[in-house]
Amino acid sequence: MKPDLPDVRQTRLDSYVDRYAARTKGMTASEIRALFSVASRPEVVSLAGGMPNIAGLPLDVVSGAVRDLVLDSGPTAMQYGSGQGDPVLREQICDVMRLEGIEAHPDDVVVTVGSQQAVDLVTRVFCDPGDVVICEAPSYVGALGVFRAYQCEVVHVAMDDDGVQPEALEQAIAAVKAAGKKVKFFYTIPNFHNPAGISLSLERRGKVLQICQDQDILILEDNPYGLLGFDGEPMRAIRADDGEGVIYLGSFSKTFAPGFRVGWAVAPHAVREKLVLAQESATLCPPVFSQFAISSYLSRHDWLGQVKQFQEMYRERRDAMLAALTEKMPAATTWTRPAGGFYVWLTLPAGLDAKAMLPRAVTNRVAYVPGTAFFADGFGSQCMRLSYCHPTPARITEGVSRLAAVIEEEFEL
């Protein structure tokens, strides 16, 4: 007897679809991931990815630290460890945060698998389906993905060149409360925003904190770029002025290397305990080997000196991008002027759509991320994120030039 051949139409469908949990409806591939394969073709200048440029890392020092780690502490470094994270690294993390005015105790630090996992753990601990998270407009695509996966409702609040607008924040909170819903926290990226490229001014930090304190709303302060400013000292963290109402997230991904996957959360004591329980159920413990390697690197190398080199490298790339934009972009195109970090947020002339334009841009060998990726509600079609962190200054100039030509052509169509 001939075996039944599978129905070709059936095999194209996901036959598990009826069995998935309802929350998986919110799990969709980000627009950035979808772009990855196209943008990584060598002929394309990718202004899309936000990958740190780690070419400047002293690989001899890193390899020395890793080698000694294996030889001196191998059995511990390759074993399971504390769910809260290595105590020595937690002390070093407190030293790092002191640069932004934060006085924290190592007991209140939870090491995580990148700050991405910290966003996940905080959301898991605080949010039930239907709870509201307030975010800036636009906001970090990876955090929006987490909020969606936990079935939160995202309410966006407008920003301008000084960061989120306090009046808009107040109005959004009032509207959510009037609708009988709970705001669980306000998620903010105060420094060198991803994707907006702007920072919350010092004056506004005070106002935002006051509003959230008055309304009894937690702040989730996500700060992976804070030490990558191009002018002067790091800005004072919001967490520096409130240890109870702010959960602060940090990361070594941009100041060291993302492949180690080490970030952290600092939270009020009771919340910290819940985060550790959530961490233990998710991963048992953050990667011990990575933590020891970073800890050893921090103690044997001039890490701050290396961060300064990163600042210089990114400043040079930022300058190349701003100069090329000024020279090449058609009138009525506007963009932000970042004082640190990786990103410029560009707004196209009225009537143009960044997502619709992307295939033509890729044909013209330049890629970017359409603005809609950074909104939970379909907004942002006139905008795009441009990253200057990875390509060389010459490639950035070339990429912006190609992009400007695509925009010009779009007018003529």
Could you list the residues that contact ligand PMP (CB under 6 A)? Answer: 50, 114-116, 140, 142, 189, 194, 222, 224, 251, 253, 258, 263
**Minimal distance in Å, beta carbon 263 to ligand PMP?**
4
The residue behind tokens 């390899």 is 63
The residue (of 196 and 322) whose beta carbon lies closer to ligand PMP is: 196
Segment (H or E) for 157: strand 153-160
For residues 344 and 337, give the distance between their C-alpha atoms in angstroms, rounded to a whole number: 7
Eight-class DSSP state of 234 = P
**Minimal distance in Å, beta carbon 114 to ligand PMP?**
2
The β-bridge relationship of strands 334-335 and 343-347 is antiparallel
Length of the chain counted residue by residue: 413
The residue (of 238 and 357) whose beta carbon lies closer to ligand PMP is: 238
Question: CA 22: distance to chain centroid?
Answer: 26
For residues 292 and 66, give the distance between their C-alpha atoms in angstroms, rounded to a whole number: 9
The residue (of 126 and 256) whose beta carbon lies closer to ligand PMP is: 256
The residue behind tokens 């991904």 is 253
The residue (of 265 and 407) whose beta carbon lies closer to ligand PMP is: 265
Q: Helix, strand, or coil here: 165?
A: coil
The β-bridge partners of 263 are 112, 251
Task: Give me 133's structure tokens.
Answer: 């998270």
**Minimal distance in Å, beta carbon 3 to ligand PMP?**
47
**Minimal distance in Å, beta carbon 140 to ligand PMP?**
4
The residue (of 136 and 410) whose beta carbon lies closer to ligand PMP is: 136
The residue (of 279 and 397) whose beta carbon lies closer to ligand PMP is: 279
For residues 149 and 348, give the distance between their C-alpha atoms in angstroms, rounded to a whole number: 31
The residue (of 115 and 290) whose beta carbon lies closer to ligand PMP is: 115
**Minimal distance in Å, beta carbon 339 to ligand PMP?**
16
Q: Do residues 368 and 385 make contact, with C-beta atoms less than 8 angstroms apart?
A: yes
> Which amino acid appears at position 211 of this protein?
I
Q: Which residues contact 169 (CB under 8 A, 6 or more apart)?
A: 134, 157, 186, 208, 211
**Minimal distance in Å, beta carbon 189 to ligand PMP?**
5
Query: What angle (nearest 5°) sits at the alpha carbon of residue 280, between those of residues 278 and 283?
Result: 105
**Minimal distance in Å, beta carbon 294 to ligand PMP?**
12
User: Which residue is nearest to ligand PMP, using beta carbons?
Assistant: 114
The residue (of 84 and 188) whose beta carbon lies closer to ligand PMP is: 188
**Minimal distance in Å, beta carbon 354 to ligand PMP?**
19
